[in-house]
Chain A
């Protein structure tokens, strides 16, 4: 994974018509009745074979990366508390460990596990993602998430949240909710800052193995990060050398919120933001809002990719897709709703929509298969060939690293740059 290959790939993948695709993996799929479909394998959800099969299928479709959902409590249909349901998939494996387990079985696809910033240690996560980058030779990223769930806080017993009940991601006028949202996202911003500084805390050529002087490292090329924040202070350096990509991809799902906190996180700190606009005009407004945050953070000249999130139900015939959705809803006992738009139709219709949204400023999409056993192959064997026919998607992987696939150069080390400036 040389940096030169990343650089050349950034040129080829930035063709204006070409778009990026990610697939969001979560259990049997995003529809709550997904596990009851005939193709589903609900008894295998906790096996390595299940997850490696999905990621290998996604790689077959040349998608840029997969994300893997996670959480520090049982899944729930409610936003802030458990739902006590037994008719839906409950229980999951740690996303980072799944990512590491599938990495050696794949060669090109990016692997992006979810990490909950609210209750975990940035030091541990920084070295874990760096290690995922080594294990995958340059294909790691992370998706950072926050949680206000009281039950999850009680699993750790170290903090409590005000007793608010949030129904969804919609805007809230409740000042307690607003303050909590801002606090959690500000903490996530600090968290990402620490993770990123730790990745840079070793310069690329810090390991010298100089037999003449007996020195394994040049310690002037290792750096304390000396981060001090409201929720944690971290000294550094990392115990793990700088990962192959320098900076693995950092991403988050960001909804419109009256506090502006989610978009501020994307604009100030991330490489990829997943957004949920309901049409092309809305997409333009969301892009403008995030770009404003990017400018406010002094990152106007940096690439921040905004991916549209869509739940997808795909069949060759639109009526068939609609009927499948009805059947799933009936099994679930209620119509499926989501924070993201739900697309029901054919791969050709979806390709039309993605190109329309692409023109509105979204360079990529994270597709959430409603039923992974059905809709993931529909993406890789239906949507992808359709986009390729239109010249809108790669026909072979053009880079060895995730940054390369996303057209991002390998970044300079902040500490090396600082040392050079003061030398």
Chain B
């Protein structure tokens, strides 16, 4: 009478350059040394996760004209880490966030094709855009792109990269030493792309990779972003980790697929999620409260308020009331290099709402920032968390989650050891990898055959 159980997809987000990551904890290790990445990846693979996820930022953040120093600062290069991780893992998918603004399609396509070859078909690309002149100061291109062209360029960038990846079909390399024929066709990899943003032609120089193309992720919540995902992406990295918001987002995005000729299972919705575990639910909630206090110091709370107010609020007491002055509605100048600043599209309304919330609950500035920004997604015993995750997936709030631990690199260990076995017992999470490629793990078809990519070979 009920539909079959959905299988859950799980991914591990390496703790990032933001205040979710608690660097002051005695357990916190390096976020740069390769040993941290190897530990994190091995844990994820031991737990049969679908993939590991790396974020990216191409300019160090500034606030009030100075480098922001309260969060983890700095990270290694995405492609280099992922390729090295391919050497210390065998099945785990490797997802990299790569900017479509400050790169060129030919280079990015050959990097992902190379990663897919070198990992035996485990590469995925989270396509993001950033068009700001602030980040552009580090690149040849600079930051010239008007906002309205942001998605059109990203869309054309992705389409162009896919044309390059598809320019080899997989049967070009003969390598027959007797006849002396290496390539079947001198025109292997030939392409011409004449578009608004890119006008390029020639021959792509990386042969067809195991997955054909990397799995494509889209991150972002705007209407253009949803449409972009519904048309072109294999998975969405979203922020909606509560049940009701998740269900609304899920229904909306999956509802867009039909008009692009796609079915429900061709786009996975994978929200980011945080978690805190304990021996009892009460203990977990107490620990979660402590973690939130670590994540949001008084100084951090003031800085976060400045994202909305766009003013220097350093004179305010974080344990005191929310400022009664209004945000500066001019161009945002206080916090630079942060995506979340754009989330607050109507700063006056946000400030009003926050003042009312704080007054109604008797919250200080720090309380407010904690309660509006740092509530963990899943808190409880392993049994509670496993049950909740399963419920969210079966109730179509998500197809799985991209978990963001708050400790580097061991923050996933307990989850792997306690929650994953319970999900396996419930019959909703794999006990062994069935295929070899990330497309296999995610149940996505190979672009050439329409069939899961690794099954035929295994």
Contact surface of A with B, Cβ cutoff 8 Å: 33, 35-38, 40, 42-43, 46-48, 51-52, 71-75, 82, 84-94, 96-98, 100-105, 119-121, 123-124, 127-128, 130-132, 134-135, 137, 151-152, 154-158, 202, 207, 209, 211, 214-219, 222, 231-237, 239-241, 331
Contact flag A239-B198 (CB < 8 Å), given A86-B183, A100-B84, A121-B139: no
Contact between chains at B87 and A101 (CB < 8 Å): yes
Contact between chains at B74 and A97 (CB < 8 Å): no
Contact between chains at B182 and A88 (CB < 8 Å): yes
Contact surface of B with A, Cβ cutoff 8 Å: 23-24, 32-34, 38, 57-60, 66-67, 69-77, 79-81, 83-84, 86-88, 102-104, 106-107, 110-111, 113-115, 117-120, 137-140, 142, 168, 172-173, 175, 177, 180-186, 188-189, 198-203, 205-207, 297, 299-300
Contact between chains at A40 and B76 (CB < 8 Å): no
Residues on B with beta carbons closer than 8 Å to the beta carbon of A36: 177, 180
**CA A151 to CA B186, docked complex, whole Å:** 15
Q: What is the chain A residue whose CB lies nearest that of B107?
A: A120
Contact between chains at A104 and B87 (CB < 8 Å): yes
**CA A93 to CA B300, docked complex, whole Å:** 44
Q: Which of B189, B198, B202 has most chain A Cβ within 10 Å?
A: B202
Contact between chains at B203 and A74 (CB < 8 Å): yes
A72 is contacted by which of B75, B106, B186, B297 (Cβ under 8 Å)?
A: B106
Chain B min CB distance to A35 (Å)? 6
A216 is contacted by which of B70, B102, B185 (Cβ under 8 Å)?
A: B70
Contact between chains at B182 and A35 (CB < 8 Å): yes
Contact between chains at A91 and B118 (CB < 8 Å): no
Residues on A with beta carbons closer than 8 Å to the beta carbon of B206: 46, 91-94
B32 is contacted by which of A87, A103, A120, A240 (Cβ under 8 Å)?
A: A240
Contact flag A134-B71 (CB < 8 Å), given A91-B206, A104-B84: no
Contact between chains at A216 and B23 (CB < 8 Å): yes
Residues on A with beta carbons closer than 8 Å to the beta carbon of B107: 72, 119-120, 156
Q: Which of B76, B88, B200, B207 has most chain A Cβ within 10 Å?
A: B76
Contact between chains at B118 and A101 (CB < 8 Å): yes
Chain B min CB distance to A225 (Å)? 9
Contact flag A124-B103 (CB < 8 Å), given A42-B182, A105-B87: yes
**CA A103 to CA B83, docked complex, whole Å:** 10
Contact between chains at B138 and A47 (CB < 8 Å): no
Contact between chains at A46 and B117 (CB < 8 Å): yes
**CA A52 to CA B86, docked complex, whole Å:** 12
Residues on A with beta carbons closer than 8 Å to the beta carbon of B188: 74, 90-91
A124 is contacted by which of B23, B70, B77 (Cβ under 8 Å)?
A: B77
Chain A min CB distance to B278 (Å)? 24
Contact between chains at B207 and A46 (CB < 8 Å): yes
Chain B min CB distance to A150 (Å)? 9
**CA A331 to CA B104, docked complex, whole Å:** 38
Contact between chains at A239 and B59 (CB < 8 Å): yes
Contact flag A97-B118 (CB < 8 Å), given A73-B202, A124-B77, A239-B59: yes
B111 is contacted by which of A71, A94, A218, A219 (Cβ under 8 Å)?
A: A94
Residues on B with beta carbons closer than 8 Å to the beta carbon of A214: 24, 70, 297, 299-300
Chain B min CB distance to A40 (Å)? 7
Interface contacts beyond A73-B205, A94-B206, A98-B118: sample of 13 additional A-B pairs, CB < 8 Å, sorted by A: A40-B177, A73-B202, A74-B203, A87-B181, A91-B183, A94-B110, A96-B79, A101-B87, A119-B104, A235-B59, A235-B137, A239-B75, A241-B74
Residues on A with beta carbons closer than 8 Å to the beta carbon of B57: 239
A219 is contacted by which of B69, B172, B180, B297 (Cβ under 8 Å)?
A: B69
**CA A37 to CA B67, docked complex, whole Å:** 57
**CA A331 to CA B111, docked complex, whole Å:** 33
Chain B min CB distance to A187 (Å)? 11
Residues on A with beta carbons closer than 8 Å to the beta carbon of B32: 134, 240-241
Contact between chains at B205 and A71 (CB < 8 Å): yes
Contact between chains at B299 and A128 (CB < 8 Å): no
**CA A72 to CA B76, docked complex, whole Å:** 24
Contact between chains at B34 and A91 (CB < 8 Å): no
Contact between chains at A131 and B81 (CB < 8 Å): yes
Residues on B with beta carbons closer than 8 Å to the beta carbon of A89: 182
**CA A210 to CA B82, docked complex, whole Å:** 30
Residues on B with beta carbons closer than 8 Å to the beta carbon of A82: 203
